[in-house]
Structure 1
């Protein structure tokens, strides 16, 4: 049996909460452990339930999703926050991802994609819905070219595999390299890009289209 994924839903529209709860509850390994209608209430529910994933809107009264997410990142760093929003602005999406969101899904996605997004962020990966991804990566061709000029082809390969969730040993086996060599590539990538966390490398790879989302 797959792990049970414990979820808290946060949205200020009762009908939205009811609809999402009903759909996710159809999945045998997804469990709704709490609901909230604003960010402040969400913090209390998260404290009481300790979920794996928080599926949260941004525009809410009392406390919005941005402030709630920042507090969760500080107090509960292991909880994955998946943003569910109607906003399809590129800068808006980028801001939330930089603040620590594990994923961003637009509210018009099919329910099956929402289920996939929850499972993806729970596994430790980042998920951005297809239309949001197109907006996010628009006009980033120059940045990708610049990255390719900074990193070697081998480093780009290693970065891509790291972003896909492979560990050093798995990458070494796949590329027929020693684990020490893979670690050296990893350190070079971190140094060249000025990024020193796995989450940061993953987001960088997604932003520059080395990883499909």
Structure 2
């Protein structure tokens, strides 16, 4: 494998990734800082491996759609999800979307390198702690608070948690104000809250473990 695509919107992450790739002997590293750019580069270059973040400035978990699109286009591409999310529900979603492995951003460089090399060799990767939590989640049939939300609902919940108004969210996501209102109503129903203030409280309380970087 001579080329890898990384999709992440943090310059520091991109610089660190290039150094690790040099140590791994990767000849060419392609970079994209958003979902659209990442998919376009992949479609044009077809690198053998993709390392993708899950969360971008536009909202929560947009990287899941990129993973699904890449997997639909090339079944054999090796995809490593690279994220700060340690919620087992989100890890499960990434794997179900087509990620070959999942590694957290706060791991030591040596552990990231091990994850990269494992996925590069065509094997799945998930560290023991995350694997255990994902397994327990599946065996128990547990439904976490965010488990039933759609990707769009997670995105809007994340933006509400950042203090954005309905109109700002609508403008940022290029959807109608009515769409955001409808999603908010659906979120309140699914999360068992009655008011916008309660919904925002849920968004903020979930932020550290499940919604924000």
Cα shift at 1:86: 0.3
Query: Which of residues 7, 12, 32 in structure 1 aligns to 2:9?
Result: 12
Cα shift at 1:21: 1.3
Find the aligned partners of 1:71 and 1:142 in 2 and give their Cα distance. Answer: 30
After superposition, the Cα gap between the structure-2 partners of 1:142 and 1:70, relative to the gap in structure 1 and judged at 3 Å, is closer
Aligned 8 A contact 2:5 2:29 in 1 = yes
Cα shift at 1:129: 2.4
Query: Which of residues 38, 41, 47 in structure 1 aligns to 2:37?
Result: 41
Q: Counterpart in 2 of 1:26?
A: 23
Q: Counterpart in 2 of 1:99?
A: 97
Find the aligned partners of 2:85 and 2:122 in 1 and give their Cα distance. Answer: 24
Aligned 8 A contact 2:53 2:81 in 1 = yes
1:79-94 equivalences under 5 Å are: 79-94=77-92
Could you tell me which runs of 5 or more consecutive residues in structure 1 were left unpaired when the two chains were aligned.
144-213
What's the secondary structure of 1:7's corresponding residue? strand
Cα shift at 1:141: 6.6
1:197-208 equivalences under 5 Å are: none
Could you tell me which runs of 5 or more consecutive residues in structure 2 were left unpaired when the two chains were aligned.
142-213
Give the TM-score normalised by the residue count of structure 1: 0.59
Higher relative contact order (Cα pairs below 8 Å, separated by 6+ residues): 2
1:39-78 equivalences under 5 Å are: 39-61=35-57, 64-78=62-76
Aligned 8 A contact 1:9 1:32 in 2 = no
Q: Counterpart in 1 of 2:132?
A: 134
After superposition, the Cα gap between the structure-2 partners of 1:42 and 1:141, relative to the gap in structure 1 and judged at 3 Å, is closer
After superposition, the Cα gap between the structure-2 partners of 1:135 and 1:31, relative to the gap in structure 1 and judged at 3 Å, is farther
Give the TM-score normalised by the residue count of structure 2: 0.59
Cα shift at 1:139: 5.9
Aligned 8 A contact 1:21 1:32 in 2 = no
Find the aligned partners of 2:73 and 2:138 in 1 and give their Cα distance. Answer: 34
